[in-house]
Chains A and B, each alone.
Chain A
């Protein structure tokens, strides 16, 4: 029984690829921590302890406490859920809307393509922060704003990637052979185009996921993302800002959490890129 040699090779390549392995381990640990936070955190995040506030790291509080005496480690653990959820849903929005748009544009070409690409240009003019500003101004603050804003930003990114990859694939001879077998554009897209650009989408999704984590932190830092009392990394940094001279650890650890998560995802993405080599030009 043979498998696509691709898979065998890829698996072997993946486990000899340093960035992929490190990225996978970091990302796995972060995901585990987020899951763990549902059942266990060192302290309950709602517990205030004014007497024990602004304590530097100690045995009782590994990463210290904040200005309400809350345990920073527990808050970082719970905050990871928010970051992951926002980034994940925005990537899903980007893929669900962007990929079909890109595929459609590539399959139809001509006027449809032109219109969709101009639509892309338009959406590109609204960075996540500006969308979030408008949404918040009208509807008030909330975590959903960040999801929508980042999701909108992801749409043209995936549309471009999907269109570009599909345009490379359409003139391939196996697509012509499928057309000579009477298959329509939709069927060809599902059977031939999409599977052959999946690698590219996986890599892009990893990149957008890490950008989403960064963007969510920025939005909740300026108050356009998730709101208290729900802990979020960006919000924790906002609160740390006024305490920076008294309790620098309040700023240090949530920031490190962001850096490590994003670093892990980027390493994973780089590793995947090396392993899957989604640059279609070498794919023959």
Chain B
């Protein structure tokens, strides 16, 4: 049976392939001669030719693409031109910072936002609802990197409670490493939490206006148990959608925030690569992030089916 789930997985794979074509086209076809672009106008012909050789630029486009794609599937992303090491090694080293940061922030923002949204929805129109949503309104407007600067100024520069930046590495032990991720995760999580709390509240309020809520109330359920037993699960679909989008924003946010805290993550890697015109590194990092976004969207799509029985077994 070509169910909802298997259709989504197929679409995910197709999107992944299409995205790889886009990345390849922008970074290897549009520049004309990537080797020349990487080395700059002053490079000698010999150097350019050597790099062309190394990157396999002499082969036909299709061969190059499939060669690159094959590499992607086997974890071979080519060699960094500036670092002279395999790109995959650079990425594995840096992702050890970026991924934990993104995951901690996501967990933090979700654990804050869902209860706050529920709280606000259950007290609709009261002072505590208005105050909470007012705070969330401001939270949504705060750019995370500016919030990060404020946190650095208060907790690192003024109070000296945590380091202002840098990362000791996981080898330095769990706690020192985590400690250096505290401020960055808070800076990332709070503005996201504000968005999520607002979405949670409005999704719940939308559902609370449905006919079946009245049916549940007519059964004798209190407002509160209607909220938990009937509204929450129906409100999960818009909440999940935003969670999926947020993960993409969090990845982007991670890259930006790493600059505030001088964290050696994917963000630092890709910006250095841009300055040094190391297209191979840029290509690897971008493809990895794009693939992550597609994967997350796929997971969100699949989770819809878990929440909503109407999607199960449907195409």
Contacts and interface: CB of A to CB of B under 8 A. Distances in A.
Given A126-B290, A248-B153, A262 B140 contact: yes
A210 B142 CA distance: 11
B18 A263 contact: no
B250 to A, nearest CB: 10
B19 interface: yes
Interface string A38-57: 00000000000000000000
B240 interface: no
Contacts of B294: 121, 125
A63 to B, nearest CB: 15
A254 B149 CA distance: 12
Contacts, number: 126
A255 B146 contact: yes
B242 interface: no
A130 B27 contact: no
Contacts of B289: 130
Interface stretch (A7-15, A133-141, A186-194): A133-141
A20 interface: no
Contacts of B285: 133
A269 B231 CA distance: 26
B282 A133 contact: yes
Interface residues of B, number: 49
Contact of A137 (B253, B255, B282): B282
Interface stretch (B44-52, B83-91, B273-281): B273-281
Contacts of A127: 248-249, 251-252, 293
B143 A244 contact: no
A259 interface: yes
A222 B150 contact: no
Given A129-B252, A134-B286, A137-B279, A218 B22 contact: no
B26 interface: yes
Nearest to A137: B282
A180 interface: no
Given A121-B15, A255-B149, A134 B26 contact: yes
Among B37, B141, B252, B293, max chain A CB count under 10 A is at B141
B26 A259 contact: no
Interface in A38-82: none
A88 interface: no
A71 to B, nearest CB: 20
Interface in B1-16: 11, 14-15
Contact of B149 (A125, A223, A244, A267): A244
Given A134-B27, A244-B152, A244-B157, A125 B146 contact: no
Nearest to B34: A138
Interface string B136-170: 01101111011001101100010000000000000
B146 A124 contact: no
A222 B259 contact: yes
13 contacts: A122-B18, A126-B290, A130-B289, A134-B26, A136-B274, A138-B26, A138-B279, A214-B141, A218-B252, A221-B259, A251-B149, A255-B146, A270-B137
The 6 A-B residue pairs whose C-beta atoms are closest, nearest first, are A255-B146, A262-B141, A129-B252, A263-B141, A137-B282, A245-B157
Interface of A: 118, 121-122, 124-130, 133-138, 210, 214, 217-218, 221-223, 237, 240-241, 244-245, 248, 251-252, 254-255, 258-260, 262-263, 266-267, 270
